[in-house]
Amino acid sequence: MQSLSLRQTSISKGLNYLTIMAPRNLWHMRSNFLFGSSCWMTRFSAEIIFKSVSFRLFGVKCHNAGSEPLENEDLLNNLLTMGVDVDMARKRQPGVFHRMITNEQDLKTFLLSKGASKEVIASIISRYPRAITRTTENLSKRWDLWRKIVTSDLEIVNILERSPESFFRSNNNLNLENNIKFLYSVGLTRKCLCRLLTNAPRTFSNSLDLNKQMVNFLQATCLSLGHNDPTDFVRKIILKNPFILIQSTKRVKTNIEFLQSTFNLNSEELLILICGPGAEILDLSNDYARRSYTNIKKKLFSLECTEEEVQKFVLSYPDVIFLAEKKFNDKIDCLIEENVSISQIIENPRVLDSSISTLKSRIRELVNVGCNLSTLNITLLSWSKKRYEAKLKKLSRLA
């Protein structure tokens, strides 16, 4: 019978580590046997001995029993050579550095073949080190599944560069495949699935049952509100709020009830709201939504607004509910102090998109060119920088 031996390649007392040749997944060692500490290795069965065993040369620091596991130094050196920000990677997923078997070179080869640069690969590993634990077989299968949604390899590389977790978070390819089939089957388009993949990748890590529960709930809600096209309803909500599939049905149901009861909406009005500007509110914490709306009412009431004006303000721009209480109050105060009337704010709620510093600097610039804020359409306070500067230049010439 053939024998399988483990050969020591180097032992260094000064560095207190040993370098060995070991078969994958078949060893465990504790302490430094040179100094009398315990050491054991898995015995090999005859079945294992006759199988092909792949080896990897690596170094591992020895340590005393009970101490923290030390890092795989060969892995550390490989990552440094690849340009990985090891400090960042260590902070994000330190456990990866204690693994004896990793696939960083295979990952690099795979991503290079898909058009990723060495710099992009280093950035991916720096921000999501667990990527190096995926096998080439797993990566290939997952890549092929993504190509059922994304049109090119380069587009996938760009997504990975922005959000490596979206691709590497899960290695359950069967679950991914089942979710893709299901979401296509309920009428979601490739564009819609691509939006989910880039903005809410956890949707595809959900169990198939969880995604089915949410889609079934949304379809039932649609029918209960008198809409006869549940497929269209689900597609519109997901396009407006790609995060909805990773929320609980209880949270979404509670928020729909909150919107309907708070604003006294009939079924048609509620449908228009949740398929449009109110869709994003559906995944908010219900407690947060209620507190935020209560604060908005309190602040606007203090400025002598009516209940009707408050409701008009929020329904015309539901995103205002996302603003933290202090930030909302401070922005309103800032505008009032600069002689913008509350009626102007009610008519142009998007002005609250801008930061307080932006509001102040733009108001100062407009006043300097002779604008009368009381008669000005204040929406320009929330315009993009390019659009705003073009308008300011035009106003300057007219002054």
Q: Residue 64: its pLDDT value, please?
A: 54
48: enclosing H helix or E strand: helix 46-49
Q: Which residue has the tokens 């939006």?
A: 195
DSSP 319: G
Q: Residue 396: its pLDDT value, please?
A: 85
- 326-336 as b/e, with b when 16 or more CB fall inside 10 Å? eebbebbebbe
DSSP assignment string, 125-149: HHH-GGGGGS-HHHHHHHHHHHTTT
185 three-state secondary structure: helix
**pLDDT bracket for residue 68 (50, 70, 90):** low
CB 38 within 8 A of CB 3: no
Q: Residue 288: its pLDDT value, please?
A: 95
Mean pLDDT of 109-115: 97
**Structure confidence by residue, pLDDT tens digits, 155-197:** 999 999 998 998 998 899 999 999 999 999 998 999 889 989 8
Q: Residue 5: its pLDDT value, please?
A: 38
**pLDDT bracket for residue 25 (50, 70, 90):** very low
CB 221 within 8 A of CB 261: no
Q: Residue 51: its pLDDT value, please?
A: 36
Task: Map out the domains of the chain as residue ranges.
Answer: 72-171
Q: Residue 271: its pLDDT value, please?
A: 94
DSSP assignment string, 273-307: HHHTTTGGGGGS-HHHHHHHHHHHHHHHHHTT--H
pLDDT above 70 for 46: no
CA distance 344 to 346: 5
pLDDT above 50 for 124: yes
152: left (phi over 0), alpha (psi -120 to 50) or beta: beta
CB 69 within 8 A of CB 105: no
Q: Residue 373: its pLDDT value, please?
A: 84
Residue 376 in tokens: 């000005």
pLDDT above 80 for 264: yes
Q: Residue 195: its pLDDT value, please?
A: 87
Q: Residue 72: its pLDDT value, please?
A: 87
Q: Residue 19: its pLDDT value, please?
A: 40
**pLDDT bracket for residue 344 (50, 70, 90):** very high
pLDDT above 50 for 117: yes
Mean pLDDT taken over the chain: 84
pLDDT above 60 for 53: no
Q: Residue 233: its pLDDT value, please?
A: 93
114 three-state secondary structure: coil
CB 76 within 8 A of CB 20: no
Per mean pLDDT, which range of 116-120, 325-329, 366-370 is the poorest?
366-370
Q: Residue 397: its pLDDT value, please?
A: 82
Q: Which fold has domain 72-171?
A: Transcription termination factor 3, mitochondrial (1.25.70)
Mean pLDDT of 341-345: 93
**CA distance readout (Å), 381 to 88, 213, 327, 342:** 38, 43, 17, 15
**Structure confidence by residue, pLDDT tens digits, 207-254:** 999 999 999 999 999 999 999 899 999 999 998 999 999 999 999 999
The values of phi and psi at residue 385, to 5°, are: -60, -45
